[in-house]
Chains A and B, each alone.
Chain A
Amino acid sequence: NAGVTQTPKFQVLKTGQSMTLQCAQDMNHEYMSWYRQDPGMGLRLIHYSVGAGITDQGEVPNGYNVSRSTTEDFPLRLLSAAPSQTSVYFCASSYLKNTEAFFGQGTRLTVV
């Protein structure tokens, strides 16, 4: 089983460029979320979705957009990349709240 698939695994962007981090899950999970992980800061929630067409902001949403047009996909868009967005990004999904979250392998993003 594929589980949660993130692409790309590595990306280098120049300041001001835009890009989309892809996340797909094949477990028919309703709940999906995006986190960033920085040294000493732990995992911080960027945006989350409780179902197709429904998204909400997490702890650090500024500079990021999301949409959820299907149950399977939850892309994260950076409209104008900044060096402060250099991080490792994780996508996660779960069947319901209060259940196990399954994570992708992460995308390491560097903004120069």
Chain B
Amino acid sequence: TQLLEQSPQFLSIQEGENLTVYCNSSSVFSSLQWYRQEPGEGPVLLVTVVTGGEVKKLKRLTFQFGDARKDSSLHITAAQPGDTGLYLCAVFSGAGSYQLTFGKGTKLSVIP
């Protein structure tokens, strides 16, 4: 069973559209991270959310942590081709919470 379920797996939209991607789990987490990975590169951290119900904004990206701290969403307003990439959510899990575990990601393509 996957600890983190991300949906959708793939998303292809036109430039200027809005979109939301999701990261869900049945477990409760003290924090959750979102990363973006571009082709040929390693993931890069976008944001960390730590409080239930927390909303963080990063320009056109809005991140929300669920009230129960089991899920999170990423909303992009007026998507641009530069937003194209693989969006990954991740949590620290396992004994001592040292293991950073990732979801399988949402692959976003923004078409000009």
Q: Please list the residues of chain A having a beta carbon within 8 angstroms of any beta carbon in chain B.
A: 4, 31, 33, 35, 40-45, 48, 50, 56, 58-59, 90, 92, 94, 97-98, 100-101, 103-106
A42 vs B92: C-alpha distance when bound (angstroms): 16
Q: Are A33 and B100 in contact (CB under 8 A)?
A: yes
Residues of chain A contacted by B43 (CB below 8 angstroms)? 43, 90, 101, 103
Q: A41-B104, A42-B104 are in contact. Are A31 and B88 (CB under 8 A)?
A: no
Q: Are A40 and B40 in contact (CB under 8 A)?
A: no
Residues of chain A contacted by B48 (CB below 8 angstroms)? 98, 100
Residues of chain A contacted by B35 (CB below 8 angstroms)? 101
Q: Please list the residues of chain B having a beta carbon within 8 angstroms of any beta carbon in chain A.
A: 30-31, 33, 35, 40-45, 48, 88, 90, 92, 96-105
Contact of A45 among B42, B97, B100 (CB under 8 A): B100
A58 vs B94: C-alpha distance when bound (angstroms): 9
Most buried by B among A40, A90, A98: A98
**Which 3 A-B pairs have CB atoms at the shortest separation, nearest pair first?**
A103-B42, A42-B104, A43-B102
A35 vs B90: C-alpha distance when bound (angstroms): 13
Contact of B88 among A43, A56, A97 (CB under 8 A): A43
Contact of B98 among A56, A103, A106 (CB under 8 A): A56
* Nearest-CB residue, chain A, relative to B91: A98
Smallest beta-carbon distance B21→chain A, Å:
14
Residues of chain B contacted by A50 (CB below 8 angstroms)? 96, 98
* Nearest-CB residue, chain B, relative to A41: B104
Q: Are A45 and B101 in contact (CB under 8 A)?
A: yes
A92 vs B101: C-alpha distance when bound (angstroms): 12
Residues of chain A contacted by B88 (CB below 8 angstroms)? 42-43
| New A-B contacts (9) at CB < 8 Å, excluding given A48-B99, A59-B99, A103-B43 | A31-B98, A42-B102, A43-B88, A45-B100, A45-B101, A50-B96, A100-B45, A101-B45, A106-B42
